[in-house]
Structure 1
Amino acid sequence: MTCWGSWANTQKLAAKNWRFELFYWDVAVGLLLFALLAAFTLGTFGAEPGGRTFLEDIQQADLQSIGYGVLGGVFWNIGSFLISAAISLAGLAIGFPIGAGLAWLGGTILGYITEINTTGSSSSNPVLLFSGMAFGIVAIYLSMVAYRRLASQRKGSSSVKGIVLAVLGGLSIAPFYTVTMYGMDPAFGLSGTGKLTPYSGVVCFALGAFLSTFVINPIFMAHPVDSEPVKITEYFKGTLTSHLWGILGGSIWMLGLVVSFISAGQNSTIAYALSNAAPLVGTSWGVFAWKEFKGAPEGTNKILTFMFLLFIAALVLITLSKS
């Protein structure tokens, strides 16, 4: 939750003139590098007795399991591009909670339905789980209300466009966790062959995200959402610091995915729900660190306070829903 709610800050910490399309090339590199680092360290030296190291796991994996991991990375990558574009237009405190919030809600519901269809039952108490989801929906709505109040003082159409991009990004990201988990073994490689351990799963996921960047990013560069088209030659003019911030951002996000998959086990629905409560963290950065609501109309702070309280209530209920 902390990693997924914080990685987007690196976009703001890069150079002010560093476009998010250029920033994202480095994010894709960071995702793949950290996934490989985790696989060749914890995923190799930490294999349980009777389990498989990373290379052994990849060698025995079937193409279907690998394909699910790669496809999960593609779904996430498309949504992440859209949410990054929304952040560049509407700010971290709005683009992130709307996009990531919808991904959180949609992914949790999809995971619950899949768990029921696969096993015939769920490890979650549906009343508590979906009560938490309801609180999350209201919290996301309040974040949109707060932004509309702030946007009323600004000129331009970036507010509407930013919200639309965030919604589309959230819907694209929603299925990524469930799709990736289809190819993974919840018993960490101890229950059979063909499936992936979490460390191999994240490498396949990162590979899907990395390769799809070469298809998706050129489209965004040629048809940007808020400025002039940008050429790939501009990427090589960036400072070392800007490149490192992007790689760090990808690494932070991938760290979140690694520990989320490790924690999932037989309770992937709850693991996803808790991990994707990242909007609480992301909104906190936008409000308190970046002061995105400074100068907002009177009463906006009360709306934000209620939003935070509802997010916290959602987290508590989701945690208690584990049967």
Structure 2
Amino acid sequence: MTTRFAVFGAGSWGTAFAVVLADAGCEVSLWGRRSELVDVINTTGTNPEYFPGVELPTGITATTDPAKAASGADFVVLVPPSQTLRANLSTWAPAIAPTTVLVSLMKGVELGTAKLMSEVIADVTEAGPERIAVVSGPNLAGEIVRRQPAASVVACKDESVAMRLQAACHSSFFRPYTSSDVIGCELGGAVKNVIALAVGIADGMGLGDNTKATLITRGLAETTRLGEAMGADPRTFAGLAGMGDLFATCSSPLSRNNTFGANLGRGMTLQETIAATKQTAEGVKSCLSVLDLAHRHGVDMPITNTVVDIVHGGKPPQAAVKELMSRSAKPERH
């Protein structure tokens, strides 16, 4: 029996994951907000706005109707910007069956509540942990949609659900691993966007690989500290949802957060950088909510704090770097 997915979000990552699912033999209904884009996907079999020239599998159909998208779905995949999830899901929830598994592809922390996306999903739908899963890892959509080999983690508190999702999205170019550490997988995906902003800023300033390696390594350390305080398995951060995702996002020109940071490092203002960025750089808003989360758990996150100072406090990058490097010396702890 063919597994049916509804993917809510026809942007770059939603489209790329729909390709993964269709290539794995699933039936995919792709929900899009704009009727003109949905019509183009259905008539041409492409998504020219995000992936011009890339032919989509025939197993994908698009719609603007949430009820039509979710009808008969075994899994509903959620891919809106993280800060709009609560409002969007409140609209979509009545169309989702009470047995459907909800899958988060989002990598952010909600402003104001400091909640992870799985927690927002539970708030809105009242779904139990056995119905909420996440997918995280090195997920650069531009590579995945072109079927370049990649691996990710599918996490759910219920191991049997994680295995069902794993089997459904395992294709010749996409290799999913299972985990029960939902918190660790989500947190790794959210904080790496903030660290990628820092690495991008350093790159834009003309700083070298030693600086970037330092930011990546110490960024992983502060992510792990926060994860442990929240009950995550620290080993998760050494895997695909931790180091793997962090490395890809910090090193690739396809990374929105890295590119956004580089523009700031070159001297562009926040508003100029936002205007030059076509797609959402999740770290820009999530750095505030990640720092809020760190404060709530009493965890020191100096790189995240520095990113907030630069992005939202207007601190010149040169001054922020000097301040970060002037912190008191201490032993390295893992």
Using the size of structure 1 for normalisation, the TM-score is 0.32
Higher RCO, 1 or 2 (CA under 8 Å, sep at least 6)? 1
Using the size of structure 2 for normalisation, the TM-score is 0.31
- Greater fraction of residues in helix: 1
- Greater fraction of residues in strand: 2
